[in-house]
């Protein structure tokens, strides 16, 4: 709900797309339509969900059966149908993009952690500083006194190269 609401709020700065494709099936489709109606946004929405057998997602390679939901109806197309393949590619690209973003973000944080560890600051102190300041950028911009309050003078001296 938070992600959908955030995306709808951004429509005031960036115009909405012609079609909104949601990964998650009928429940998320209904939620998206409700949020769009509340915001007064007129937008076509479809949702794609993986077929479930015995309450488990069925994902055999080559025979994946996805279901497309719209406001008015449900489509169960054959895996060879070009329309379902197109929607699957959209979904898969969105997943790839999200995973890539989070992996890069984690990699940057890991690099920053390793740089601090080389200065003699351990994981517990890094977590404590991040909890207090929120970001590595905020730690970098913090004064000697602020770091001393959050951790210790010893850590403040290391970070401020004193």
**Distance between CA atoms of 84 and 75, rounded to whole angstroms?**
9
Instruction: Give 64's Cβ-side CA count (13 Å radius).
Output: 14
Per-residue pLDDT, 123: 80
**Architecture of domain 2-91 in this structure:** 2-Layer Sandwich (3.30)
DSSP assignments along 66-105, one per residue: EEEE-SS-EE---TT-HHHHHHHHHHHHHHHHHHHHHHHH
Least confident of 57-61, 120-124, 143-147, 148-152: 57-61
Residue 125's closest CA among 139, 106, 137? Answer: 139
In tens, the pLDDT along 36-87 reads 999 999 999 999 988 766 656 555 555 568 889 999 999 888 888 899 888 8
Instruction: Name the pTM for this structure.
Output: 0.57
Res 114 pLDDT > 70: yes
């Amino acid at each position: 709900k938070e992600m959908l609401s955030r995306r709808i709020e951004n429509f005031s700065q960036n115009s909405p797309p012609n079609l909104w494709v949601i990964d998650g099936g009928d429940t998320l489709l209904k939620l998206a339509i409700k949020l769009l109606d509340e915001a007064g946004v007129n937008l076509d929405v479809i949702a794609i969900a993986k077929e479930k057998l015995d309450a488990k997602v069925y994902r055999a390679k080559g025979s994946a059966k996805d279901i497309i939901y719209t406001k008015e109806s449900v489509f169960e197309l054959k895996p060879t149908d070009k329309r379902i393949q197109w929607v699957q590619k959209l979904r898969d690209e969105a997943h790839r993009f999200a995973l890539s973003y989070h992996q890069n973000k984690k990699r940057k944080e890991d690099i920053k952690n390793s740089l601090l560890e080389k200065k003699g600051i351990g994981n517990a102190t890094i977590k404590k500083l991040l909890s207090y300041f929120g970001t590595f950028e905020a730690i970098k911009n913090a004064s000697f006194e602020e770091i001393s309050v959050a951790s210790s003078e010893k850590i403040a001296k290391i970070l401020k190269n004193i």
